[in-house]
Amino acid sequence: MTLWRPVSQTVWQGRDDSAEASNAKRIFQTIHQPEQFAPISSGIALIGFECDEGVKRNHGRPGAVQAPDVLRRALANMASHQGHERLADMGSISVEGDALEAAQRALSDAVTSCQRAGMRTLVLGGGHETAWAHGRGVLDAFPDDRVVVINLDAHLDLRKAECATSGTPFRQLAHYCAEQSRVFQYACFGVSRAANTQALWDEAERLNVTLVEDLHFRRDALPSLEKVLAQADRVYLTIDLDVLPAGEMPAVSAPAALGIPALELLPVIERICRSGKLQAADLVEFNPHYDRDGQGARLAARLAWQIAHWWA
């Protein structure tokens, strides 16, 4: 597969506690690492998307291209519990130069292949341009199903632009659904009115997007989520890490002035994971350049850990 590479064996390392007990395992000891891109009939396909070209085009702070392996290293030493044995590292897709669209096509194809084989996909971005590729891959795998996109994010990412950026993925998915005469079902939880212009708010209204603002998250998130889940055959969950407060997640292109604390996000993530409808998930916008003592990497990896643990 073009633009694909396997992950170096040096990435998945950690503390070996196997002398204590047979089940004293960590992720690096239980994750499967195929030498070739060959989807299997079950499990969770972990895929890296080494890309920040969309962030550059959106005039953000580059650096997310380095995120996938940094997050893998942070995840590697975490304890392996129920669900984590299903993780299979299917390698990473990268961008050649500024050819974002070719890399997005490669990621879409990889996702579709995994999904059609029977795997679910957990993608480590990359900027939020990851979502156009990941979402398209899921839509292509299930053309007859109602696929609902749930975005935990301070931003709507419905920008109008001449080319794909990290700010356009859900507008692109809306157009893609329209081309196929499919209903575009999109919910954005944690959105900041201060971080989105009125034009973006108007576009969200035109597309009938379900919105839960940051100020009302604690009150409205779970009730709104139940309505969204009821409309879905399958769910694609995308988590832009800038939904978290800057104090918890400094390592993003656009740190949140307010944000939703992780302990408030996790019940929403858990409900989605345990719904039986979650088909795909990703974590995007992590930027190692701006991390503090690995704080952001550990939190992002913990979210990935929880998703794999809770994924019904």
Annotated binding site: 128, 153, 155, 157, 240, 242
- Give the number of other CB atoms < 10 A from CB of residue 99: 12
Could you tell me where the DSSP H helices lie in the chain? 27-30, 53-57, 67-76, 100-117, 130-141, 169-179, 198-206, 217-230, 262-273, 295-310
Decide: 280 and 237 in contact? Cβ < 8 Å: yes
Decide: 122 and 134 in contact? Cβ < 8 Å: no
Whether the ω angle into residue 126 lies within 30 degrees of 0, i.e. cis, is yes
User: For residue 167, with 0-12 CB atoms within 10 Å meaning exposed, 13-18 middle and 19 or more buried, which class applies?
Assistant: buried
H helices, E strands: number in the chain: 10, 9
Please state, in angstroms and rounded to a whole number, the distance separating the CA atoms of residues 48 and 184.
26
Go through 121-133 and write b for each residue having 16 or more CB atoms within 10 A of its CB, e for each that does not: bbbbbbbbbbbbb
List the one residue out of 230, 286, 277, 223 whose CA is nearest residue 254: 286
Single-letter residue type at 47 = I
- Where is the binding site for Mn(2+), in residues? 128, 153, 155, 157, 240, 242
